[in-house]
Amino acid sequence: MVVERSSAKEVRLVGLADWLVDGYVTLRDAIMIGVAANRRRTVRGTIGSLVLLLLLHAGALGLLIMDVGGGAVGVASLATLVQALLGLSVFGRQDDDETSLDRTATELSRLIEFRTTLGLPFPQPAPDERDHLGTGRTGPARIEFRGVGFGYPGTDSRVLEDLELIIEPGECVAIVGPNGAGKSTLLGLLCGLWSPDAGTVRIDGRDPTADPAARARIAPIFQQFLRLPLSAADNLTAGHRWLPGTDWSRAAERAGADTVLAELPRGPETVLSAEFSGGTNLSGGQWQRIALARALTAIEAGAGLLALDEPTAALDVRAEAALFESVLDQRGRSTTLLITHRLSSVRHADRIVVLGTPPGASGARVIEAGSHEELLRSGGSYARMFELQAARFRGEVR
């Protein structure tokens, strides 16, 4: 999970790497108790084999010495035979070393490939920040994009150019626009996954790229959100290390995940993967509820921005409506940023922001903003997109 591309965003943003590694170490230590017992039994057998091998070597050497004394074998032949006997004793150890090197090389190759894919330099030792991830404040967050420009490394094209956007605390803002308009890129910049080429991004006046406390203010639900093959409780509280003992029960109830937990064989202790004994698989809608509950648990822990990036792409209309109803219920508890291409889901947002690339511009920026009713009356890009989707829903466009 720590190095897989599908989970990289949340692992980095929420700070799950240390938590996952600590859990792995705990489980490994428990397993190694049994492994150590097996190894002790193996060592006893190995010692017996070694004693037998030494006796055989001693016997063979004794016979060789007798032959040398009798003139049957020369000194040069004796040296060659002794060297051959000693060489046989290292074959078993050499096989173990080769196996260990092969495993290490395989894992190292995966790590190098992963970092190369992301274009990241190899890390240098850094101080442990686990005791310094306090959010610094609570309540809804204030978001600022001022003159932001960005293009992905290795490309000449601009995704965003001169983007200006301010989201006030407690506001529910939807970001819409055509494919390639930079909607998900905007969220990536906000999460500190990339640094803007121009302008500034701020969360409560802090730079999310450089400030862990700013990133801790974000409770994200990405399109490919984290699905841990751990217990439901671990999935609900993953990454909330700045507030030990976080209570997820209220968040689960508001997200509708309490009904999901009630149906599980062992409740919140059920492992959410059928690959494990007693585990179970969830449907797409049930996983969405778990992901929303995890984000709302982060809000309880001090995060101030609920950010959703195409969270309902795999859901049907009813499941989508239920999810957004839960999201809209968070008004007043947090600032909400909703990125989607389904315009029927955003009509009740406080403000709808349309991204697009004006003629002559090299990157996207805000081209329209307002309420659903205001944008429909203006007859601009939003009105055209909304009418097109509505016509498709009514079956007027095939």
User: 53-110 pLDDT, tens per residue?
Assistant: 777 777 777 776 776 666 666 666 667 766 766 666 555 555 455 556 666 777 667 6
Is there a contact between 270 and 231 (Cβ–Cβ < 8 Å)? yes
User: 273-306 pLDDT, tens per residue?
Assistant: 988 888 899 988 888 889 888 888 888 888 899 9
- CA 182 – CA 356 distance, rounded (Å): 8
- CA 297 – CA 268 distance, rounded (Å): 15
Has residue 164 got a pLDDT over 50? yes
User: 204-246 pLDDT, tens per residue?
Assistant: 999 999 998 898 899 988 888 888 888 898 888 876 544 455 5
- CA 356 – CA 177 distance, rounded (Å): 6
The arithmetic mean of pLDDT across residues 178-194, rounded, is 91
Has residue 186 got a pLDDT over 90? yes
- CA 325 – CA 323 distance, rounded (Å): 5
- The phi, psi pair for 83, rounded to 5°, reads -60, -40
Share of the chain above pLDDT 70, in %: 72
- Which pTM was predicted? 0.67
The CATH number corresponding to 143-394 among 1.20.1260.10, 3.40.50.300, 3.40.449.10, 3.90.79.10 equals 3.40.50.300
Is there a contact between 280 and 312 (Cβ–Cβ < 8 Å)? no
Mean per-residue pLDDT over the chain, rounded: 79
Domain ranges of the chain: 5-89, 143-394
- CA 23 – CA 230 distance, rounded (Å): 10
pLDDT at position 132: 37
| Sheet architecture: strand order including 198-203 | 160-167, 143-150, 198-203
Which residues in 237-272 are b (16+ Cβ under 10 Å) and which e? bbbbbbbeebebeebbebbbbbebbeebeeebebbb
pLDDT at position 315: 65
- CA 330 – CA 327 distance, rounded (Å): 6
